Structure 1
Amino acid sequence: MFLSNIRIVLVRPTHPGNVGATARAMKNMSLHHLYLVAPEDFPGADATDRAAGADDVLENAVICASLDEALKDCHLVIGTSARQRRIEWPSLAPESCARRLVEGAQQGPVALLFGQERTGLLNAELDRCHFVVTIPTDRNYSSLNLACAVQILAYEIHRVGLSELSANQADTREGRPVSDEDMQGLYRHMEEVLQLIGFLDPANPRRLMRRLMRLFNRVVLDHNEMNILRGILTAVQQHREKLDKNNQE
């Protein structure tokens, strides 16, 4: 079933009890793929106790040293955040987030990211996200327990996944969507070319690359589109190298 392509990713969790409660929340909603990025204290008795029978989810949890590992092969990444940021991320309501994940899961692995209990997701981690989802709360008390946040969004995913429309909906876009790894390669290539042509000053980069990442993350590229963009960047590099060579002669 396509729900098996949905990863719940906890980034730098500090409390093993929250990891266990997350496993329980996931299993309640037919989600079984838990990824932990640099957990502070796992495994442990607190995690097992709070899992309350979702031991299989805990035992199969994938422990990753970096976010790169957790997002490998994912073509859609959605992060959770309750805080306003200076540069706005494209935002989704919980139901829209669930629909995006369910539809994306029919094409391949997707990920829903939750940040550390105290800090949430850092800007560098949100840079990896195509969208950000915010759970509506009382504006005077917006902080949700990590496992509670997982439970709310897992419920939305389960509800959307049960609908006949989502279960049978086919993605009509041309080509396969690209992975997060491919997107990071594009951004590195783009940064090299922008420096090469003098558009990006590495000593004073401001927020150019972050804004460009927001732009391309909104689009969700397929492989054909990726190949076109990488081809353009390569052509620019080759043209610049030819100019430099002619100038030296």
Structure 2
Amino acid sequence: MNFAHICVVLVEPQGPLNIGSVCRAMMNFGFSDLRLVNPVADHLCDDARRMAVKASGILEGARLFPDLPSALADCNLAYGTTRRFGKYREDFLHPDDAAREFIPATQGGRVAWVFGREDKGLETSELDLCQRFVTIPTDDACPSMNLAQSVSICLYETSRVAAIACGKTAGRKSTSSIATLEAMYRHMRDTLTDIGFLDPQNPDHILRSFRRIFGRAGLNDREVRILRGLWSRLDWLNGQRREE
């Protein structure tokens, strides 16, 4: 099965053993696109190579990025993994549910699994770039999982669901790229702040709710253009109001 449109993104991974183990898990389940965001560890050191075993090609082919936006620039959809819950962290999927959404989405473009740091996971600003949140249900006595184990579970579910759904995903609309969506959100923030809908001291408070709504909708390019047309119309009407 071809998973060329699926990438695995590790944000600031700290352990070379984990990076090597992730490569091995990727090869186990048929994935090859590994992206490392500002890695703390040397991903080509002996420890990483030893854990990668036969997946050294994935390790050596891993691409490095300075930040998460650049790593996701060519992706249309990103699923961020997290164990922490809170005001801006809700509406979670489990890996099997995420995979059922994930596989059809690959027909519309590149999709990313995004994993955070071993010690503190993904920051809220990084989760803002992800349209869906995924958490692995674990026991309260030891809720945090090892990075490589988390990747293995998510990739296993993706591979399993893909095998079941093979040939049954035609007709999925092509979703907009993350770069296109972020441009829309910037326009949206400026417009809604300008008309007084968003609090200029904390515009992202409400904007994050819109991100979740539009993330679930899976906007395509035409839908993004329609929404940006709405923001532009509001900009014009607000300008007219000020002139009067």
The reply to whether TM is greater than 0.5 is: yes
Secondary structure in structure 1 of the residue aligned to 2:133: strand
Deviations 1:17-57, CA, capped at 9 Å, x for gaps: 11111000000000101010110122312111110110110
Question: Secondary structure of the equivalent of 1:46?
Answer: helix
Q: Which amino acid aligns with 1:25?
A: A
| Equivalent AA in structure 2 for residue 89 of structure 1 | E
What amino acid is aligned across from residue 235 of structure 2 in structure 1?
Q
Q: Count matched residues.
A: 243
Equivalent in the alignment of 1:203: 201
- Asked whether the 8 Å contact 1:99–1:166 carries over to 2, the reply is no
Match in the other structure for 2:129: 128
Change over 3 Å in CA distance of 1:24–1:206 after alignment to 2: closer
Whole-angstrom CA distance in 2 between matches of 1:227 and 1:236: 14
1:206 and 1:62, CA in 2 relative to 1: closer, same or farther beyond 3 A? closer
User: Percent sequence identity over matched residues?
Assistant: 37
Query: What's the CA shift for 1:207?
Result: 1.1
Aligned CA distance change for structure 1 residues 92 and 135 (closer, same or farther; 3 Å): same
Query: Once superposed, what is the RMSD of the aligned Cα atoms?
Result: 1.6
Unaligned runs of 5+ in 2: none
Q: Does 1:119 align with 2:104?
A: no
Corresponding position of 2:27: 27
Instruction: Please report the TM-score for the alignment, with normalisation by the length of structure 1.
Output: 0.92
Deviations 1:198-247 (A, max 9, x none): 22232244711222222221211011111100011111112222333x33
Partner of residue 225 from structure 2, selected from 219, 224, 227: 227
Whole-Å separation in 2 of the counterparts to 1:67 and 1:157: 22
Distance 1:37 1:172 in 2: 30
**Equivalent residue letter for 2:30:** S
136-145 or 56-65, larger mean C-alpha shift: 136-145
Q: Provide TM-score, normalisation by structure 2.
A: 0.94
Q: Which residue of 1 aligns with 2:4?
A: 4
**Which residue in 1 is equivalent to 2:56?**
55
Give yes or no for contact 1:2–1:105 (8 Å, CA) kept in 2.
no
- Could you report, residue by residue, the CA deviation over 1:150-175 in whole angstroms, capped at 9, with x for unpaired residues? 11111111111222x334421344xx
Which residue number in structure 2 is paired with residue 18 of structure 1?
A: 18
Contact 2:88–2:124, Cα closer than 8 Å, also in 1: no
Deviations 1:39-91 (A, max 9, x none): 01223121111101101101111110010111112111111112222234321
Q: How does 1:67-78 map to 2 (within 5 A)?
A: 67-78=68-79
Runs of 4+ in structure 1 displaced over 6 angstroms?
A: none
Q: Whole-Å Cα distance in 1 between the matches of residues 55 and 172 of structure 2?
A: 36
